[in-house]
A and B are shown apart, each in its own frame.
Chain A
Amino acid sequence: MNPDNEVVHAANALTSWISGVSAEIKELSRNVALLLERNLAGKSKVNKAVLVGLDELSREFLTKNSFAVGAGTFFAAESVEEGGRFLEWCSRKESGAIGRLDFDLTPGSNRYYDYEKLPFFSTAASTGEQTLWGPYIDYLGFEEYILTFAAPFFVHGNFMGVAGCDIRLTDLEPLIMPNLRLIRGDAALINASNRVILGNSGMYLVGERIKSESPNQHRLALDVPYLGLSLIYTTPPQSS
C-alpha cells in the first residue's frame, strides 16, 4: 500500500468511527428534547418533575455504547426554574455498574462545578452545533483525562442545554489505535485546537500542541461536521 492510500484508509476508518459517536450523541440530544417536550407539556421552565425518565436515557446510552464512561444532560441556567440548576449525569463505575454522578452546583463553594463556563457546554450553546472538547482533566467533574462529545438540544426552538458523553483517553486508545497504525510513518489525530488526541508513536503524544508544520508534515481534515478534527502524518524526506 503506498503512503497516500494508507493515510486515506486510516482517515476513512477514523471518520467512520467518530461519525458513529456523533450520530449517537445527536440521537441522545434528540431523545432528551422529545422527553422534555412531553414532560414540560407547555411550560417553559424545567423543574424536578420534568426530569422524570431522563436518567433512563443516560443509562440506555451507556449500555449501548461501551466506549463511553459517562453520559447525560446539562441544563442552561435560564431554562431551569429559579433556585434549580439541574443536570442528570450517569457514569460507569469500576465494577461496570452504571450510577448517577453528583456534582457540587453551589456557586461559591470550594468544589463548585460551573459547567456553563466549560467549553463543551459554552461552545455547544453559542454555536448551536455539536462539539468535541478535550483531551482535558475534568476537575471537579468526572476528574479523569477525557474527551467530551456534546450536542445542544432545543424545545420549540429554545436552547435548553447540552447532552453528551465522556470518553476516557485510556478507553479510546485501543478503539482507534488500530486505525492510526495503518499508517507506517508517524501520525496523529488532532483536535480543533491543534492538540494531539492520539498518536501512533512516541512522536505525537496525547495532549501536545502541534507547533511547527515541517515540510514533511501533512494534514488531512476529517469529514465530521463541526468537530474540527484532522489527521497529521509525516512522510520521509524526499531523497534528492
Chain B
Amino acid sequence: MTQYAIRRALTIVPVLLGVSILVFSFVHMIPGDPALAMLGERATPEKVAEVRQRLGLDRPIYQQYIIYLGKVVQGDFGISIVRGDPVAKDLLRRFPATVELATSAILLALLFGIPIGIVSAVWRNSWMDSASRVWALVGVSMPIFWLGVMLAWFFGVQLGWLPTGFRLDSATEYRPWTNFVVLDALLNGSWGVVRDALRHLLLPAIALATIPLAVIARMTRASMLEVLSREYIRTAEAKGLPQVSVILRHALGNALLPVMTVVGLQVGRLLAGAILTETIFSWPGIGLWVYEAIGSRDYAIVQGASLFIAVIFVTVNLVTDLLYAVADPRIKYD
C-alpha cells in the first residue's frame, strides 16, 4: 500500500509538468499582445515596447517558460503583472474562501444527492424516482451562471431573505485568523458572525452544488440498483432483516465505491465552477481572482492559479484512489 501510494504520488510529477507546459502555451497562444490589451486605446508604440520588456515578453517563449518553471519549483509563482504582488501569497490568502465554498457545496451535494439516489433506486419507477431523475437531468444541464443569477434575484432581491453576494456583511466585525470565516467565527464563539457567514454561504453553495448533486444522485441510483439486485441482498431480505438495515448497511456500503470516484472527479468541476459562482456572488476566492486576471491579462495569476488548481485536482484524485482501500478491504495494491 505504502509503495503504491509513493508510486502513485510520483506519477503526479509528469502530469504537473505537462499541465505547466499546457497552461504556459495556452496563455501565450491567446491572440493579441498583452501589453496592448493592458494599455488599451491609449497605447503608443514606445509604451507597448516598454511594457513588453518589463513583462519579459520580448524573450523567446522557451526562455520565458524555463525561467518560469525554475521559479515555480521554488514556490515562486511570479509577480502579478497588474498589481505587483507575489502570486503565491495571494493564492494562499484567497484559497480558504474557495475551499470553504467548495466544501459546503460538496457537503450539500452529498447530503441531498445520496438520499435522493437511494430513494430513487428503492422505489424504482415510482413518482419519486421519476421526479428525482427529472431533477437530476435538470441539475446537470443547468448553467451555473444562470442559476446563480436567478437564486440571487429570487432570494436576495425579491424575497430579501439572503444576501446577493460576499462572505460577510460590511458592518460585520471579523478578524481573520485561518481565513476560513465559519471556522474562525466558531473558534471565537462569535455566533453572530457564524450566522452571517452561513447566510452568505448558502446561495453560492447551492449554485455550486447543483451539478454535483445531480451527478451523485444519478450515480447513487445506478449503483444502488445494481447492488440491490445482488443475491446477498436477497439473502438479507430473506433472513427477515428490516428493510432500512438492508438498504443502509448492506446495500449502501457496497454501492458507495463508484460514488466516491464521482465525488473525487466532481472536486475538479467544483474548482472550475467556482470561477463562475464566485464571480456571480462576489465571493473573494481564487475563481473571482482568476476571472479578473483573465480580463486584465495578468499572465502570472492565470498561470499560477491554473497550476495550483491542477495540483489540487490530481491530489484529490490520488486521495480518492487511496481511499478505495479503506472503503473496500478487498482492494489490494501491489
* Binding partners A and B: no
Which residues of A are in contact with B by a Cβ distance under 8 Å? none
Which residues of B are in contact with A by a Cβ distance under 8 Å? none
